Structure 1
């Protein structure tokens, strides 16, 4: 295959539709816009959500809830995920390098989900009561 021999697949390219060019074209006179009305005129479109002057739906419904500004900074790590990390000492930096938490995470917490088979030492990471018991039962420790 040469660069000068590349062409689109058959049927992939269509000629531009020329509207308003006589009745024989099938798109003459009104050019596919129908008769009269706002949508038939040049520039005759309204903004998204406009309902003809009626109060739009997004303004009729009440505001609800909020977006937490700190949610993107918090992360949870399952106990079973700690099993897959090489090394015995685990801190936030190691969790980020392993891809278990996002790079923007500031607060990480280990939760009891799954099992841990080996002894690990957690440094500077809070854990739930159940997760702490499971880590210590496997011979690990939490600092």
Structure 2
């Protein structure tokens, strides 16, 4: 193999490794196991569903506009306005669900304060958790956002 060809292969491998590393660091929930995620309150008055998703750049950045995060919950396209960060909790993603262990549910309740809905952020919105769904002594498991 020529020297030029080796350099091209090496460069390609390095770019691929950098892209994979950036992806995994940006959203730790893509890795197996439990990871610390930021907890935010959802400003329900100005958050909601949208008929038209943002353009390519907006979807790439995960934003509907300058202060609104874009996420999909199944077929629903959401623009979420967040309050916080309120704190951190460990969470894990598996089989399309984000789960917070039973031991951390009281902390979620405490972080919620006046908020009625929480959003877990891991490189972007990972899950929406209604505070009413939190039961002490039981883990909370909700659909993962994409």
Of structures 1 and 2, the one with the larger relative CO (CA 8 A, separation 6+) is: 2
Taking structure 1 as the reference length, the TM-score comes to 0.18
Q: Which structure has greater helix proportion?
A: 2
Q: What is the TM-score with the length of structure 2 in the denominator?
A: 0.18
Bigger strand fraction: 2
User: Who wins on radius of gyration, i.e. which is larger?
Assistant: 1
